[in-house]
Structure 1
């Protein structure tokens, strides 16, 4: 395909991932993640498909799967909606089933056994379809934890491996189809009939979840190999939004709503881990905010921190070591104040 080109001047180099994601080579994502795109060629491919009747008219076996898979990588780096729906090798869709149901894993979703996690977004008038998508991410992270416990046995089951890869693609597709924080408010909220101050606050909470989830998915659940420019773009935006929410809470007569603080704690943990190989001042900022948040929530042990992280989205083998390192760093931080960075917008092809 012309859209996938081998330009020696644009070879992507694998960089350091502060997380340690499992299943990097599932469906050869570690290979396809290196493929660069010529946007003109990619647009031409989409135009040709439309002119010939659309995506679902493609008959060549495996071609719809390949196109949808490659479009996921492209959209993941650019934070855009994928050009094509997710299908398996036979061109079939899994519909709207939840990850554990798709995978036929007879486990109760963790998000149903706790009152916290992403379910807390429901208190903010955020549409259920959006909350459901975040819960799908939580559920898929749980599925990874289950899958890797018997990794050798599970990887020997070809159909199960294919189904797991397709489920990963489906969850990533759903996350990429979430409205952006700058989209019209009606795309995000059940009602916009709220005071302006309340809308601004709740939009910031959605924004911080959206940014942290972008980092988490591309580094852990759909791990791409070339992400340093991506982190350099998103981490200052996440930092600025966390700071804004904390400032609003401090100005609201010391408001200390635990649901928002727990959401911020997960987002700060994800951002802090991702900041490991960046500017030391940024990493220190995240460590200090993490400490402020876990003290406000009276979290006194790493075990309790792990429990709370799993109520959102957390893969032990991929996050524990890096998370514990940040936790210990936060223990040592006394105080930190520094001006927020402006996001460096980096275009990634």
Structure 2
């Protein structure tokens, strides 16, 4: 079986190394980045000791990189070169703090492929806002990501933007770019990728009032989840690591690109009240399962509170006769309940799930899973946390059911 923590190496990275041997700013920048990567990896795994000497060398490399970049950008011929843009990316993506906070915190989800493309490391790194602004300006002067020629660089910048958007709950600043240079990848590539174990179940999603963009994301997630499960089971031999990275990053880019309901204006009217609840639940699904940010940086607690506020504020009576409305609301509540583990919001989600269970005659976790699977669900990633949540639903006193 393929390793679930597999890394996606790209031949373009080797090209970066060869260029850095002849470009002093990039050489220092990549040394700084490697020190930063090693530091976080050792802190997370507990293997190795990133001592005072390593910290000093890392800071020397950072200062040297900044000095050389400042000289290079004075020359219009080199200011927006790919090597300089990569150097600034190393500075922007590797802001080092004195410590990595909350190490040891656990995610309630057991997500697959947590280490794919080193997301478990890069997801823990902080962004240097000053260098990020410089990176954005250089790319604008360059003419956009599509003007970058250095292999894999546009894709890595796009990946960096997706990570930042996911941590800050904002829209990605950069467009999506595939690791396969020159390939125009869209959600349709995900939707129409053949999978031996795939069985299309439209369910009642089409009957729920949601935008076409959101519906495509739901269907794309279903397909990607099946692809990952087939890959882990060893029945999808034709799928390479780069494809998994591309599909995962593309889906997360689309999730984070969904506009909040408050920004849709009059367009939201036909999609009220489910749209915003589904959008927030999709982000939970993304940062918790399909694009699993490390628990230290995944904004699950904030998302669960936002979802609670949204669900509390909406009148769902207009959907009482809509097929699938209860199933979607149950899905949102379960994801919100899992994300709210060890928070003050947890009890509210438990109470709401108890009401739905009573109204729908759901008495076992297996019955609830059937409802969840009609939307999108990953048994290996969610079942343990989901069953713990359901245990709390079942032991809730009747007096608190209507609280």
The TM tier, using the shorter chain, reads 0.7 to 0.9
**1:141-290 superposed matches below 5 A:** 141-150=225-234, 160-186=240-266, 188-189=267-268, 192=269, 202-227=271-296, 230-245=299-314, 248-249=315-316, 255=320, 257=322, 259-279=324-344, 282-290=345-353
Q: 1:25 is matched with which residue?
A: 115
Asked if the contact 2:178/2:246 (under 8 Å) is kept, the reply is: yes
**TM-score, normalization: structure 1?**
0.80
2:186 aligned counterpart, secondary structure = coil
Asked if the contact 1:269/1:290 (under 8 Å) is kept, the reply is: yes
Asked if the contact 2:186/2:250 (under 8 Å) is kept, the reply is: no
Residues 240, 70 of structure 1: alpha-carbon distance in 2 compared, 3 angstrom cutoff: same
TM superposition shift of 1:10: 6.3
Distance 2:257 2:333 in 1: 23
Deviations 1:168-207 (A, max 9, x none): 1111111111111211335x54xx5xxxxxx6xx433111
Asked if the contact 1:111/1:135 (under 8 Å) is kept, the reply is: no
Q: 1:36 is matched with which residue?
A: 126
TM superposition shift of 1:297: 2.1
The answer to whether residue 194 in structure 2 is matched with residue 129 in structure 1 is no
Asked if the contact 2:351/2:396 (under 8 Å) is kept, the reply is: yes
Q: Which runs of 5+ in 2 are unaligned?
A: 1-89
Distance 2:196 2:328 in 1: 28
Q: 2:358 is matched with which residue?
A: 295
Number of paired residues?
Answer: 311
Q: Which runs of 5+ in 1 are unaligned?
A: 193-198, 340-349
Residues 142, 108 of structure 1: alpha-carbon distance in 2 compared, 3 angstrom cutoff: closer
Q: 1:139 is matched with which residue?
A: 223
Counterpart of 2:178 (choices 70, 84, 87) is 87
Q: 2:207 is matched with which residue?
A: 120
Residues 44, 203 of structure 1: alpha-carbon distance in 2 compared, 3 angstrom cutoff: farther
1:21 aligned counterpart, secondary structure = coil
Deviations 1:35-91 (A, max 9, x none): 210222112111101101211111111211211111110111112221221311424
Distance 2:327 2:261 in 1: 20
TM superposition shift of 1:315: 0.8
Distance 1:207 1:96 in 2: 21
**TM-score, normalization: structure 2?**
0.70
The answer to whether residue 394 in structure 2 is matched with residue 331 in structure 1 is yes
Deviations 1:200-248 (A, max 9, x none): xx43311111111111110111000045672232222211222233xx3
TM superposition shift of 1:100: 4.8
Residues 139, 65 of structure 1: alpha-carbon distance in 2 compared, 3 angstrom cutoff: same
The structure with the largest alpha-carbon Rg is 2
CA RMSD of aligned residues (A): 2.6
Name which structure has the greater RCO, CA cutoff 8 Å, separation 6+. 1
Q: 2:9 is matched with which residue?
A: none
Distance 2:301 2:402 in 1: 18
